[in-house]
Amino acid sequence: MRFRHPDGSTVHLSYCTNVHPAETLDGVLAQLRDHCEPVRRRLGRDRLGIGLWLARGAARTLAADPAALRGLRAELDRRGLEVVTLNGFPYEGFGAEEVKYRVYKPDWADPERLSHTVDLARLLAALLPDDVTEGSVSTLPLAWRTAYDTAAARAAHTALTVLAERLEALEELTGKTVRIALEPEPGCTVETTADAIRPLTGVGSDRIGICVDTCHLATSFEDPATAFDALDAARVTIPKAQLSAALHAQSPHLPEVRAALGAFAEPRFLHQTRTLTPDGLLGTDDLDEALGGDTLPDTAPWRAHFHVPLHAPPAPPLTSTLPVLQDALARLVGGPVPRTRHLEVETYTWQALPPELRPRSRGRLADGIAAELTLARDLLVDLGLKELP
């Protein structure tokens, strides 16, 4: 979906296909047929943007076979789909029964992360629509914090420096600009937007910035105005933003609130949980840790990294951080010039919701994704952007 910003530029809205995990090219092609095109039809659109997730196996196939890459682009065109952004955070196995900490491997100290990301950048340059010259790829925020030492930091810095050089060469070769965006996430080396400033200014390339995920931003209790002003001051770019909402529990000391939160503690994904205290941000690596003892103070609200559907916040006594998303979106694209032109709805946890909230069929899932995109579209229109055909 495309929108005209008051400054005349185009802002792209897509939804991320990591909600339909597939490890192979055949699986990706099936996603387009079974999920993405049905969402487009529900929205009544001739064209729908998708934020494509290509697992390492699928990316390798496409990188090694130009005919297969041309075939993927032709299939996108045939189904009325377009790609301006890729989700390069999960490497593989995102559809496994237990993902948890595995999603942070390989990290940016591992040469394989650089190799995979360069492949994604090259693939995206070939998949961009003819009238689009800039693409984005989101990636993990360096590493999970516990295994990150001085040697790893040096290796990551070198990898990002090499990446910037290869992105420049790619632009010279193709005429397409691809930007990489580190995605701050709770528990990682780069947990907040503030944490991103030092490593990114150290690299010193406008081709590498950050991806603002509004669920992660809210989980870490970041104020959008403060966060974005600091990024502006440091000249750190925002190639991409992911529109998502976290779980919010206003009164976690109450038994009924804990019981409601317990329904969202599940074995597949990591749901980092945070609270803001007078001493700063405190948290646990997962929601069940927070609920299982006295590790996390319960005298102030909790937020959990669980991407809940934008249009369907949980029932009381819980809610979502949709207001943070709305504030962030206004600051990202509501000003005289957009801070980013790539927006992606990323609710990948539909099948991790409590059983009674999960979609029971492909059709119900498509309905839910279409409803999220409709909400995001309405927010953009309210900010003065004009929806394009």
Q: Nearest Cα to 106, choosing from 96, 122, 121, 92?
A: 92
Q: How confident is the model at residue 293 (pLDDT cuts 50, 70, 90)?
A: confident
Q: How confident is the model at residue 261 (pLDDT cuts 50, 70, 90)?
A: very high
Domains and CATH numbers, the chain: 2-246+320-387 (3.20.20.150)
pLDDT digits (tens, 9 = 90+) for 163-194: 999 999 999 999 999 999 999 999 999 999 99
pLDDT digits (tens, 9 = 90+) for 354-374: 999 999 999 999 999 999 999
Tokens of 64: 């090694």
pLDDT digits (tens, 9 = 90+) for 185-244: 999 999 999 999 999 999 999 999 999 999 999 999 999 999 999 999 999 999 999 999
pLDDT digits (tens, 9 = 90+) for 87-108: 999 999 999 999 999 999 999 9
| pTM exceeds 0.85, yes or no | yes
**What's the chain's Rg over C-alpha atoms?**
20
Q: List helix spans (H) across the chain.
A: 25-31, 37-43, 56-64, 66-78, 111-127, 150-174, 193-203, 214-219, 224-234, 255-262, 287-291, 322-333, 362-382
In the predicted model, what is the mean pLDDT of the chain? 97
Residue type, 128: L
Q: How confident is the model at residue 295 (pLDDT cuts 50, 70, 90)?
A: confident
Q: Which residues pair with 177 in a beta bridge?
A: 134
Q: How many residues can be counted in the chain?
A: 389
